[in-house]
């Protein structure tokens, strides 16, 4: 059953599960012999990260960062680090987990920050990619799904902190924002 505030479902629960399995397999292969630190960006990456790491067959550790850059449906230029990593990133191979790459500002800022902290490598896996909105020339290394230029919610993505718990990704009705 679709939530009454949505006008359509873009990506079903089954499609997400299948794609996480594929991404996990690819990441497992690409990082063979390494012990990557998987870093989720709070809060949007939580459901995706939980699903994805089940399929990463490596000796990993996980951590989280909280950065803010977004209010309502419009991105603001600045990105603030609200919560840093728990440990030093010195020498770490970091796989950053994002919910969506939109303008690309968040990614640019966080990747630069992690290299400044001494990370050896930083790659990005994002559940969604909205390339039409890109302002900064940057892309995720691994993408779950490309989405059109519409405001999406669910599977971690919110509108004013709501809808993160929906098990699928969908588009909100205009009257809901």
Give the active site residues: 102
Output 58 or 104, the one with its CB closest to ligand IMP: 104
The binding track of 58-97 with respect to ligand IMP, each residue x by CB under 6 A or -, is -----------xx----x----------------------
Report the nearest approach of ligand IMP to the CB of residue 77 (Å): 10
Give pairs for 70-77: CB < 8 Å, separation 24+. 70/106, 72/160, 72/177, 73/151, 73/159, 73/177, 75/102, 75/103, 75/105, 77/105
Can you tell me the distance from the alpha carbon of 22 to that of 28, in angstroms, rounded to the nearest whole number? 10
Q: How many residues bind ligand IMP (CB under 6 A)?
A: 17
**Could you tell me which stretch among 25-33, 46-54, 102-110, 115-123 binds ligand IMP (CB under 6 A)?**
102-110
Among 51, 92, 98, 129, binds ligand IMP (CB under 6 A): 98
Helices 13-30, 46-53: crossing angle, 10 deg rounding: 60
Q: Is 157 in the site for ligand IMP (CB under 6 A)?
A: yes
Q: Maximum CA pair distance of the chain? A: 50
């Amino acid at each position: 059953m679709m939530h009454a505030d949505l006008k359509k479902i873009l990506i079903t629960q089954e499609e997400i599960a299948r794609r996480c399995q594929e991404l996990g397999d690819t990441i497992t292969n690409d990082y063979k012999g390494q012990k990557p630190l998987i870093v989720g960006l709070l809060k949007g990456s939580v459901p995706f990260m939980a699903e994805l790491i089940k399929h990463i067959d490596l000796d990993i550790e996980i951590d989280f960062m909280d950065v803010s850059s977004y209010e309502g449906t419009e991105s603001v230029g600045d990105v603030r680090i609200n919560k840093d990593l728990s440990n030093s990133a010195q020498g770490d191979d970091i796989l950053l987990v994002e919910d969506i790459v939109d303008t690309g500002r968040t990614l640019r800022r966080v990747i630069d920050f992690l290299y400044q902290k001494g990370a050896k490598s930083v790659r990005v896996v994002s559940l969604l990619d909205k390339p039409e909105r890109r302002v900064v020339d940057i892309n995720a290394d691994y993408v779950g799904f490309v989405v059109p230029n519409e405001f999406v919610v669910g599977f971690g993505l919110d509108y004013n902190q709501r809808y993160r718990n929906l098990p699928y990704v969908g588009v909100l009705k205009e009257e809901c924002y």
